[in-house]
Structure 1
Amino acid sequence: MSLEENKPSCACGATPAAEKNTAEKNKNKVLLAMLGSIVVWYVVYKQLLPFSQWLSFSLFGLSPESHLGSAVQFFVYDTPKVLMLLLLVVFLVGIVRSFVTVEWTRRFLAGRGESVGNVLAALLGVVTPFCSCSAVPLFIGFMTAGIPLGVTFSFLISAPMVNEIALVMLYGLLGWKIAALYFATGIVIAIVAGWVIGRLKLENHVEDWVRNIRAGEAADLQQGMTWTGRVHYAVDSVKDIVGRVWKYVVLGIAVGAGIHGYVPEGYLAGIMGSSSWWSVPVSVLIGIPMYTNAAGIIPIVDALLGKGAALGTVLAFMMSVIALSFPEMVILRKVLKPTLIAVFIAVVGCGILAVGYLFNAII
């Protein structure tokens, strides 16, 4: 037998200590690359305002006082700003979601007391993915996991309305006070609405085929994932989510730019101001048929507030677009009977109206 035959192969000869050391080095490299990318992101982000002013007023030669100049500068500044915020937050939340999966959320909520479950479900909805395409499997999964109907609705309300994209973009555009206000009111609506629906005992108004399903426990694909795998998972999340919403973001910014540049000061204050009692319900009715998401609606919210619209009215408009959109109701119709959908709209709608009137009265 030759010496070469007696030598262990690389795969078999690697000691556990060496493998652990290699994994640690790879982890450090990944974390260092993430840190470097965030630093580059921050440097570019800080240059967006002077770049937009140079491009609009120096290169294009537009006047800062003109309607067109104001609209163009708004669009040139907000488009990369919002998209960069979107990229960052989706990536970071993708890292978080590689630890906190939907399946883990189901197991965590199952068996909890209903009142505690409402609070936990509303909070978990902030960091758990939810969109129209996931409404049906999420609802089925929650029901078959033994989670009460009211707790399920607390989750389904908070997930789209108080999501991480909305909070980070609100913070970036309007400051932490508005972001905190939106977070607090959205969570309260989700908790109270879920609790009310739970008290009404409407389980029979879930479609029969949903209640007859007995779903098996799915494996957690993220279990044991390395840091390299988590980064790839986060990058895939960026490609998926940003790839689906960037068009709505640009459209929303374009609408916001038009409002910012061409709508006269004070005009929207008369329509969406706190002095008009009908402004809040009208804004909710206008928001329901719209098809967009937090990323697309926040630039419009920014422009509305800048033109004098009342904060409570604008928050009610935003919440109705995100939480009560007509397309979302069409998707949910696959699993809910009309009576339960009507109760859901009525309860959440009343909460949104209360938020609108409350903040118009105190701010």
Structure 2
Amino acid sequence: MFTWFTLFADWLVYDCFGLSNQTQFGQAVHFFVEDTTKIFALLIVMIYAIGWLRTSLNVERVRGYLAGKPKLIGYGLGSGFGAITPFCSCSSIPVFLGFTSAGIPIGITMAFLLTSPLINEVAVLLLFSLLGLEITLLYIVTGITIGIIGGAILDLLKAERWLQPLAAKAYAIGRQSTQEAATPLTHSQSTHSQHGVTWQQRHAFAKSETGEIFGRVWKWVIIGVGLGAALHGFVPAGWLEANLGDGQWWSVPLAVLMGIPLYANATGVIPVMESLLVQGVPLGTTLAFCMSTVAASFPEFVMLKQVMQWRLLAILFALLLVSFTIMGWVLNLV
């Protein structure tokens, strides 16, 4: 999927810079170039696309659909959408802002944000190929359940109080729009709201959104990926194989904690996952460690800090760690 980014990084790092792909430094620089360009491209495309869609979003219809459903259904929809979208935490930021801008309740938005990195398409394919359909379905159901429960908890805590000004402003505007949508519109008003925005206006709005949001987060992408690149190649697979292979109850939370300082993308973690499984580390322990490096690492949270205050970030962090641990325990039991 991201072959062009890999080829660009190969050309820049190994051909232009003359670094060796056999050294940790060369691999770290390659990791930084590839992931930075990949995330920048994802952010620009996603922010622009969602900004474009927001100009034609029928807020009345979204609000009416969600208002007529129990909250549990809303959490399920948010969690289900997160399960089928291939976003890590950083590339989920524009989608997160799109949800808040539509006035969608924060619990549904957070259910999406929890599930999106938790159920990874690479992990699903790998599980299916190695262990079959039953375990893969258990993994998916567990992840969606965690997203639903997490969304409900964050709704009860009124997590919207802890959004950064950028996200809080979008959420306030979105909620105001849904309240205005509660007022019946005339046919002409409804027609204008749905068809009155020109392509040029949509482009201008999407371009403005892209410039504003990207301008706020680009430096944090560099910092976050730079931190990940500095730690790249130091995944202590040998230690895990030697000390976590017996499947004790404490091995899962320990594996999760060990993954926090590290960073890997979903593709880069596959060799680590396969190595641990071959060496006899239990499935749940392996997945808990690998998901921690992908979705709960420090670089990811450096970037998420741009839309969340510290308190909300800490709660999300704790929910992810507990989620990975629970999923690891469940998969180890079966």
Please state which band the TM-score falls in when normalised by the shorter chain: 0.5 to 0.7
Contact residue 115 and residue 147 of structure 2 kept, 8 A: no
The residue type paired with residue 217 of structure 1 is: Q
> What does residue 111 of structure 1 align with?
68
Encode CA deviations 1:53-72: one digit per residue, 9 max, x unaligned.
23323332222212222222
**What is the SS of the residue equivalent to 1:244?**
helix
TM (normalized to structure 1)?
A: 0.53
Offset at residue 304 of structure 1 (A): 5.3
Structure 2: gaps spanning 5 or more residues: 86-91, 129-135, 162-174, 182-189, 277-285
1:45-194 to structure 2, matched below 5 A, reads: 47-100=4-57, 105-123=62-80, 129-130=95-96, 142=105, 153=107, 155-162=108-115, 177=125, 186-194=143-151
Select 1:315's aligned residue among 270, 286, 291: 291
Q: How far apart in 1 are the matches of 2:8 and 2:234?
A: 22
How many residues get paired?
A: 273
The residue type paired with residue 199 of structure 2 is: W
Q: How far apart in 2 are the matches of 1:102 and 1:318?
A: 34
TM (normalized to structure 2)?
A: 0.57
> What does residue 217 of structure 1 align with?
179
The residue type paired with residue 289 of structure 2 is: T
Encode CA deviations 1:34-60: one digit per residue, 9 max, x unaligned.
xxxxxxxx9xx7544333223323332
Across the aligned residues of Structure 1 and Structure 2, the Cα RMSD in angstroms comes to 5.2
Contact residue 274 and residue 360 of structure 1 kept, 8 A: no
Encode CA deviations 1:113-161: one digit per residue, 9 max, x unaligned.
3443332354567798536xx69x96xx84xxxxxxxxx63x0422433
The residue type paired with residue 312 of structure 1 is: A
Encode CA deviations 1:298-336: one digit per residue, 9 max, x unaligned.
75665555555733323246555679x899475559xxx
Evaluate the alpha carbon distance shift between residue 63 and residue 120 of structure 1 in structure 2; reply closer, same or farther with a 3 A threshold. Answer: closer
Encode CA deviations 1:189-246: one digit per residue, 9 max, x unaligned.
2224456x59xxx97x769x9xxxx978236997432233223333233223322322
Identity %: 28
Contact residue 296 and residue 317 of structure 2 kept, 8 A: no
Offset at residue 285 of structure 1 (A): 5.9
The residue type paired with residue 9 of structure 2 is: S
Q: How far apart in 2 are the matches of 1:60 and 1:50?
A: 14
Structure 1: gaps spanning 5 or more residues: 1-41, 143-151, 291-296, 334-340
Evaluate the alpha carbon distance shift between residue 110 and residue 345 of structure 1 in structure 2; reply closer, same or farther with a 3 A threshold. Answer: farther
Evaluate the alpha carbon distance shift between residue 94 and residue 114 of structure 1 in structure 2; reply closer, same or farther with a 3 A threshold. Answer: same
**What is the SS of the residue equivalent to 1:249?**
helix
> What does residue 240 of structure 1 align with?
212
Offset at residue 272 of structure 1 (A): 8.2
Contact residue 279 and residue 313 of structure 1 kept, 8 A: no
The residue type paired with residue 218 of structure 1 is: E
1:200-211 to structure 2, matched below 5 A, reads: none
Evaluate the alpha carbon distance shift between residue 275 and residue 253 of structure 1 in structure 2; reply closer, same or farther with a 3 A threshold. Answer: farther
